Structure 1
């Protein structure tokens, strides 16, 4: 019978500790009506950590989730979500991730995911993105909360 050497035990323990064991799964619902009004993501503002997965779930039909151009951390490129399908955003870098429902973007269906603590490296760029008036109205308090 062979026993593990101290080096093997240390390497195995290190691999377990290095795994993203603390990553969370966060659910955001895409709704026709919610506490924030018509055509909303609930919650609309999410605080996350690198490695977390945000699941945008179509609670009601007629929605998708996709990145807002200019409202993603540098170097992050995410695909658009399909209509009436779950969209999973795995956040990898600190910063702000702006999300919209394309069919309802003009009437303010937006969400914001803040990844990390402290100031977001892309906060100024995210705040400078031109949004439709109703989307801008809903996004403004989320951007303020992200500071």
Structure 2
């Protein structure tokens, strides 16, 4: 009995060690030739995982689409050409954008765990709206 409790405690304490760090590149031209993209633009991860946004090419940033975030999640706003890492602890849909290239459709979506209903399209401009709709459809929402 004591062994089982000790093993359970050890597994619980080690759980954060299983968290992964994923990478998303900020690009002026994607592998398929598309302009102003995040690669990948859609990512599914587990709660506790982190995502590093790589400043692969100049003049890009990443920031949340604040009116689409899960309740209680604190937004992020990276500076241009800045690499940042964000940890996602709770299930949900986390939309983000490159502010300078949002109107050109430079948006992305991270699906964490098994969230409930997807958010409605928030305050996005230009081509970002149809791209975000496509990403939400891909997420199965």
**Higher Cα Rg, which structure:** 1
Superposition pairs for residues 1-12 of structure 1, below 5 Å?
Answer: 7=2, 10-11=5-6
Query: Alpha-carbon deviation of 1:122?
Result: 4.9
- Identify the residue that residue 109 of structure 1 maps to in structure 2: 106
Gaps of 5+ in 2: none
Distance 1:38 1:53, change over 3 A: same
Q: Deviations over 1:83-133 (max 9, x none)?
A: 21112121111110011111111111101000113xx3351xx22313213
TM-score by length of 1: 0.84
- Identify the residue that residue 116 of structure 2 maps to in structure 1: 121
TM-score by length of 2: 0.87
Do the aligned residues in 1 keep the contact of 2:27 with 2:38 (CA within 8 Å)? yes
Asked if 1:92 corresponds to 2:89, the answer is: yes
Q: How many residues align?
A: 137
* 2:128 counterpart (123, 126, 135): 135
- Identify the residue that residue 28 of structure 2 maps to in structure 1: 32
- Identify the residue that residue 55 of structure 1 maps to in structure 2: 52
Asked if 1:82 corresponds to 2:76, the answer is: no
Distance 1:115 1:39 in 2: 24
| Counterpart secondary structure, 1:139 | helix
Distance 2:48 2:33 in 1: 28
- Identify the residue that residue 65 of structure 2 maps to in structure 1: 68
| Counterpart secondary structure, 1:137 | helix
Aligned CA RMSD, in angstroms, stands at: 1.9
